[in-house]
Amino acid sequence: MLLPDILIGHLGQEPEVRYRSEGDAVAVLSLATSETWRDKQTGEQKERTEWDRVVIFGKLADIAAEYLRKGSQVYIEGQLRTRKWFDKTSGQDRYSTEVLINQQGTMQMLGGRSQSEPSRSSDRGQSQPSLSVPPRGSEPPIDFDELIPF
């Protein structure tokens, strides 16, 4: 049995949703998780942000597409997977680590309804932290059929 990967963070961009040939939804999220600490020597507050790629399958993907927006806070519990791919530009093998959420995984929207409503209001973005999304061009498109754990 594998231990789940548990994350709480904010979306750095709108969910990217695609549909497999069978009609099942697959959503890809870019999730920012941050940790803060106080530097013992200087007393200065420090922060480090990590970006995680989250891939959601099935009904939860439909829910993510409908309700999650850039800046939404979300709780994720899924399985950590690393996939190998060939970078045609550099001629080297590359690796991508993702959190997969299928029937056994969990996604819970946090932070109240105003952050996760489908309607977009211009004042809502001011309360969310400013997050910059890492460039997506360095990874190939996901072969969703390859990621299915069954």
pLDDT of 135: 45
pLDDT of 79: 94
pLDDT value at 149 more than 80: no
pTM, to two decimals: 0.70
CA Rg value for the chain = 17
Cβ neighbours of residue 98 under 8 Å, at least 6 residues apart? 52, 53, 54, 55, 80, 81, 82, 83, 147
- The span from the CA of 82 to the CA of 96, in Å, is 5
Q: Distance of alpha carbon 51 from its chain centroid, rounded?
A: 8
pLDDT, one tens digit per residue, over 26-71 is: 999 999 999 999 999 999 999 999 999 999 999 999 999 999 999 9
Backbone angles phi, psi at 124, to 5 degrees: -65, -40
pLDDT of 28: 97
Asked if residues 31 and 12 have their Cβ atoms less than 8 Å apart, the reply is: yes
Residue at 45: amino acid letter: Q
- The span from the CA of 127 to the CA of 115, in Å, is 9
pLDDT value at 84 more than 70: yes
Q: Which own/partner contact pairs does 136-139 have at CB distance under 8 Å and 24+ positions apart? A: 138/87, 138/94, 139/85, 139/94, 139/96
Share of the chain above pLDDT 70, in %: 73
Section 86-90 average pLDDT: 93
Asked if residues 75 and 44 have their Cβ atoms less than 8 Å apart, the reply is: no
Confidence of residue 146 (pLDDT cuts 50, 70, 90): low
Structural domains in the chain plus CATH codes: 5-147 (2.40.50.140)
